[in-house]
Amino acid sequence: MCGIAKDLLITFFHLTLSGNFQPKKQHPSRKDGQKWGVYAASQHAENTFNPIRRISDTMTVSPNANKRSIKLHLGDPTTTGTLQPCPVTIAAIEQALRSHKYNGYGPAVGIAEAREAVARHFNRAEAPITSEDVVLTSGCSHALQMAIEVLANPGDNILVPCPGFPLYSTLMRCHGIEANQRTRAIIINNPSNPTGFVFSKSQLEAVLQIAHKHRIPIIADEIYGDITYNNARFIPLATLEPKVPIITCDGIGKRYLVPGWRLGWLIVHDRDGAFSEVRKGLVALAQKIVGPCALIQGALPTILAETPSSFFDNIVAILSQNAAIIDERLCRVPGLHPMKPSGAMYMMIGIDEHLYGNETSFVQGLISEESVFCLPGSAFNAPSWFRVALIYPCEVTVEACDRIVNYCRRRLSNMRRQLQTQVTSSPLLSCGQDADEFSSATSESDWPTSESD
């Protein structure tokens, strides 16, 4: 900085968020030794939080040291070692690295060959697209962020699924997007996180009818597309009628088992030109990060074109088997109500709060007593539920279910003893009737048998 005028430095460092240089008066110089004051974070940062992270950070419960941890709360399919990337994917990234073609910057919207590969892979007669309709992003989460930012202003409203992926509310809250009559978009997550629900054709068409009637565009989060089982079928929203403006958000993270590679995309479906200005806005927003990782983009054409169907079949088989295990073993536990999924990598289990307390205390108890980690439904706006991931080897899933069963058995046994004590000390007949009804409702005759029994 030698030789640069002090006034010029002051002018340079007062660049405002509006993009204009605003020279300001000098602040009084601080005396030597004077402490810096605490600088406040921006309102944008203060308004940004992830419900899952907030709940995880506040659940400071130590697991049972005598039992290995089973982390059913994780949404990363790579953590257990059961689901590994396809060899085609690994070879593609090696080839891209050795080519030395992807060490520099690429276009902000993505390298042309990668955008063309996405267009080829997802082009349908009912929803034709070209590379001009594709914007590459740093993961599907970034795609969702761009879609929300390009459609909504502070004070606007975006309708989101409930229960639903908490990142939607995180991305909207930090931009001041609220619930009111100024609806700018509808988010459809299919297949769904956290429920594993897969929309039928008629259900999707009903949503499209509403969107068309009220002239509301749709953000389609299809990151789990084609991860379906139990006779469910994934239908890309853009292929159905009526045709409404849709921004599809997707990526390689979940289906190709490389979430850490952070490559996703937006596909703009717009036959009537309603998104002409939105397209320009997406290009502008893409320039904020100067495009996603060029190396991963270089591998993308091979990954999309050459990954065999058997790779996806294996993923679906493991997820389906785990869902069946959890459903079969926990549906017989009094007060637990598993909801069998048809897609994605998770399932939700309802709990009777009068038996087990709220879902947060239930999950905390599982951690402290059984070292089984689950996510409370409150993270997804679903109280009285908790979410489990289906990504472990089947034998680990069985062990996790056994521990949940044993935990519930202990909780109900303690409640039964407490009721019987109350009956003994109370002359009221109704208490005895309540105890009998409770004992009947929580009878262990139909409980699953665990390996520890």
Q: What is the DSSP letter of 390?
A: -
**Same fold flag, 62-81+311-409 and 87-306:** no
Residue 448: pLDDT above 80? Answer: no
Locus of tokens 């402290």: 368
Q: Predicted confidence band at 8 (pLDDT cuts at 50, 70, 90)?
A: very low
C-alpha neighbours within 13 Å on the C-beta side of residue 448: 23
Percent of the chain with pLDDT over 90: 67
Residue 3: pLDDT above 70? Answer: no
Whole-number pLDDT of residue 174: 47
Whole-number pLDDT of residue 165: 54
User: CA dist 169 to 162, 173, 185, 246, 330, Å?
Assistant: 11, 6, 13, 19, 31
Residue 22: pLDDT above 90? Answer: no
Whole-number pLDDT of residue 172: 46
Domain range summary for the chain, segments of one domain joined by +: 62-81+311-409, 87-306
Residue 14: pLDDT above 50? Answer: no
The pLDDT of 75-93, averaged and rounded, is 95
The pLDDT of 216-222, averaged and rounded, is 96
- Tens of pLDDT, residues 152-194: 998 888 888 777 655 545 444 544 544 446 889 999 999 999 9
> Mean of the per-residue pLDDT values for the chain?
86
User: Higher confidence at residue 75 or residue 266?
Assistant: 266
- Tens of pLDDT, residues 399-410: 999 999 999 999
Residue 86: pLDDT above 50? Answer: yes
Do 249 and 125 touch, CB atoms closer than 8 A? no
Least confident of 206-210, 335-339, 437-441: 437-441
Do 355 and 425 touch, CB atoms closer than 8 A? no
Least confident of 125-139, 160-174, 201-215: 160-174
Determine the residue type at 400. A
The pLDDT of 408-422, averaged and rounded, is 84
Determine the 3-state secondary structure of 449 from DSSP.
coil
Q: Predicted confidence band at 429 (pLDDT cuts at 50, 70, 90)?
A: very low
What's the CATH superfamily of 62-81+311-409? Answer: Aspartate Aminotransferase, domain 1 (3.90.1150.10)
The pLDDT of 114-130, averaged and rounded, is 98
Helix 294-306 crosses helix 112-122 at what angle (to 10 degrees)? 30
The pLDDT of 235-255, averaged and rounded, is 97
Whole-number pLDDT of residue 42: 83
Q: Which of 83, 55, 105 is nearest to 314 (CA)?
A: 83
Give me the CATH code for the 87-306 domain, please: 3.40.640.10
The pLDDT of 312-338, averaged and rounded, is 98
